[in-house]
Amino acid sequence: MVLPHPLPLVPVPVSAVAREARMPITATTRVLGSSPAVALLIEAIESRTGLRLSPVETAPADIELIIDAESSAPEGYTLEIGDRAVIVGADEAGVFYGVQTLLQLLRQDDDGWSLLGADIADSPRFARRGVMLDVARHFFGVDDVKRFIDSTSALKFNHLHLHLSDDQGWRVHIDSWPRLTELSSASSANGDPGGFYTKDDYREIVAYAAARHMIVIPEIDLPGHTHAIGVAYPELVEAPVLNDNLVADSERLGQPLPVAGETYLGWGVGHSSVRIHEERTYDFVRDVVRELAEMTPGPYIHIGGDESLGTPQADFDLFAERATAIVVEAGKTPVAWHEMGSAANIAEGTVGQYWGKTTPEGTHAEEAEHFVARGGALIMSAANVTYLDMKYSEDFPLGLTWAAIIDVRSAYEWEPTAVLDVPDTAILGVEAPLWSETTRTLSEVEQLVFPRAAAQAEIAWSPKEGPERAWESFRVRVGSLAPLWKAEGVDFHPASEIPWSAR
Ligand code: TNX
Cα(235)–Cα(275) distance, integer angstroms: 8
Q: What is the pLDDT of residues 283-341, one digit of tens each?
A: 999 999 999 999 999 999 999 999 999 999 999 999 999 999 999 999 999 999 999 99
The larger pLDDT score, comparing residue 6 to residue 54, is at: 54
pLDDT of residue 28: 96
Q: What is the pLDDT of residues 106-145, one digit of tens each?
A: 999 999 999 999 999 999 999 999 999 999 999 999 999 9
pLDDT-above-90 percentage for the chain:
98
Candidate of 134, 164, 307 to mutate for ligand 1, largest count of ligand atoms within 8 Å of Cβ: 307
CA angle (226, 231, 233) in 5-degree steps: 85
| Cα 224 to the center of its chain, rounded Å | 22
Q: How far is the CA of 379 from the centre of ligand 1 (A)?
A: 16
CA angle (39, 17, 417) in 5-degree steps: 85
Domains of the chain, CATH where assigned: 2-122 (3.30.379.10), 128-470 (3.20.20.80)
Cα(77)–Cα(436) distance, integer angstroms: 35
| pTM of the shown model | 0.97
User: How many Å is the maximal CA-CA distance in the chain?
Assistant: 71
Three-state SS string across 150-206, please? Answer: HHHHCCCCCEEEEECEECCEECECCCCCCHHHHHHCCECHHHCECCCECHHHHHHHH
From 64, 75, 291, 307, the catalytic residue? 307
Query: Above 80 in pLDDT, residue 462?
Result: yes
2 falls in which pLDDT band (50, 70, 90)?
very low
Distances 76 to 38, 44, 92, 192, 241 between C-alpha atoms, Å: 17, 21, 9, 43, 50
Say if CB 158 and CB 128 are below 8 A apart: yes
Average pLDDT along the chain: 97
Query: Above 60 in pLDDT, residue 91?
Result: yes
Question: Which amino acid, one-letter code, is at 214?
Answer: M
Query: Above 90 in pLDDT, residue 4?
Result: no
503 falls in which pLDDT band (50, 70, 90)?
confident
Which three-class secondary structure state does DSSP give residue 111? coil
Q: How far is the CA of 309 from the centre of ligand 1 (A)?
A: 13
Residue 502, by phi and psi: left (phi above 0), alpha (psi -120 to 50) or beta?
alpha
Q: Residue 198 half-sphere exposure, CB side, CA atoms within 13 Å?
A: 3
Q: How far is the CA of 12 from the centre of ligand 1 (A)?
A: 30
Q: Is 307 a catalytic residue?
A: yes
5 falls in which pLDDT band (50, 70, 90)?
low
**H runs (alpha helix) in 212-332:** 227-232, 244-253, 279-294, 313-329
Cα(110)–Cα(41) distance, integer angstroms: 23
Q: Read off φ and ψ for residue 117, nearest 5 degrees.
A: -70, 140
